[in-house]
A = this chain, B = another copy of it.
Amino acid sequence: MSGDFKTPSQVTFAPLDPPSRLLMGPGPSLTPPRVLGALAAPTIGHLDPRFLELMDEIQVMLRRVFGTANALTFPVSGTGSAGMEACMANVLEAGDRVVVAKNGIFGGRMADIAERLGCSVALVESDFGEGIDPEAVATALAASDTKLLAFVHAETSTGVLQEVAPLAKLAREAGALCLVDCVTSLGGIPVELDAWGVDLAYAGTQKCLSCPPGLAPVSFSERAVEVLKTRRSKVASWYLDASMLLNYWGGKRAYHHTAPINMLYALRESLIVVLEEGLSAVHGRHMKSHRALVAGLEAMGLSLPVAPALRMPQLNVVTIPEGVEDAAVRGALLRDYDIEIGGGLGPLAGKVWRIGLMGHTARAKNVSALLAALETTLGGLGANIQRGAALPAAHAALAD
């Protein structure tokens, strides 16, 4: 890097005025006004008695959306990837063996983190867009003593939903802990850590919880806490060390690092929003929006590469039609309609779009706005699509 970063003596930037985007990508999703309102409440101290009450309330609600009674359930002060690293760093030590079942980008990230922690990683790979093969996982677990099985519940890079309980059972039978990435699932589809037998899970706030990005809810089972407490070495990361964090989020309220106060206000509000609507109603709204979107896309002549049985409602992967340029479409949607959808990641870059229906975004009106904008945009670019069929099909799906 060159050193031509001399700063002007007078800095004058325009007042903040971000565009009003309809966020239909892989996250962040739309943030409800009352969550933004909570975010802007006056800052108080991280040891203020009122703040300590708010922390308790957040923990109660996080346990509910995670489907767990785990005491050590709290938001890590970082985004979803910090939650991933926190879960792995706290239970893994150099030399441990980890089985990562990888069917997308985020499984690959788990393997990278485990390797940085000095672990040996056995990868059980499936193609992008496929589910994980339980038999291959069982074989990998049986091959050698394993500390942890890790995989993704809802792969944001592929739109594939993974059934958790059967894999968690395999981990338990092999004496391994089970870690599940719930970044894109939490709040959008059922998550039942205790019923499934999951030991460690992390999520993000900017997906189906519809809170701005910046926090990573995590949950550790008693088995995971026991592993943490009987480590031979210190946790590799000071910042993410849950043995110290539980002194702040647990009973003692001992200072570790300054909590991100206002982000925690927002998370609390977003959890209230979800629980006031009710988890099953929220899940139903995601599913209904998804059905309408899929009906509309298919009526337009577009196809979804993921098999119907493996699809998640909150992130819909769509094949880019032959001859259509990815950037032109996404650029036009953003420029002409203020709609953001996501591009493909890794091997899927340029081949698919990722359309999010997460949290506050998962509503019929947004499905309708997207289908209308996409049809006009693709038509304008000369793509071979069916005109006039998407909206009636979506409408019919909603009425079912």
Report the stretch among A41-49, A140-148, A292-300, A367-375 that lies at the interface.
A41-49
Complex contacts, A225 vs chain B, CB 8 Å: 1
Which of A27, A41, A214, A262 has the most B CB atoms < 10 Å from its CB?
A262
A204-250 contacts to B (CB < 8 Å): 204, 206, 212-214, 222, 225, 234-239, 250
1/0 contact string of A285-329 vs chain B (CB within 8 Å): 000000000000000000000000000000000000000000000
Given A81-B238, A212-B261, A236-B236, decide whether A18 and B41 contact each other with a Cβ distance below 8 A: yes
- The answer to whether A109 touches B263, judged by C-beta atoms less than 8 angstroms apart, is no
A72 close to chain B: CB less than 8 A:
yes
Q: State whether A16 touches B41 (Cβ < 8 A).
A: yes
CA gap between A334 and B61 in the complex, in Å? 28
How far is it, in angstroms, between the C-alpha of A236 and the C-alpha of B88 when the chains are bound? 12
Interface presence of A348 (CB below 8 A):
no
Known: A80-B258, A236-B236. A69 touches B6 (CB 8 A): yes
- Closest CB in chain B relative to A369 CB, distance in Å: 16
Q: Is the CB of A213 within 8 A of B18?
A: no
Given contacts A18-B41, A212-B43, A214-B263, are A258 and B204 in contact (CB under 8 A)?
Answer: yes
Q: A42-B20, A214-B263 are in contact. Are A3 and B222 (CB under 8 A)?
A: yes
Q: A42-B21, A113-B238, A225-B1 are in contact. Are A255 and B345 (CB under 8 A)?
A: yes
B residues near A263, Cβ cutoff 8 Å: 212, 214, 260, 262-263
Asked if A275 is an interface residue, CB under 8 A from chain B, the answer is: yes
Which A residues fall within an 8 A CB radius of B?
1-8, 11, 13, 16-21, 23, 25, 27-28, 30-31, 36-46, 48-51, 54, 57, 60-61, 63-64, 69-73, 77-82, 84-85, 109, 112-113, 115-117, 204, 206, 212-214, 222, 225, 234-239, 250, 255-263, 265-266, 268-269, 271-272, 275, 334, 340, 345
What are 24 A-to-B residue pairs whose CB atoms are below 8 Å?
A: A3-B69, A5-B63, A7-B60, A13-B61, A13-B272, A16-B265, A18-B51, A21-B45, A31-B43, A36-B42, A36-B43, A39-B40, A44-B340, A77-B78, A77-B82, A84-B239, A85-B237, A115-B234, A116-B236, A116-B238, A212-B262, A236-B237, A255-B345, A260-B263
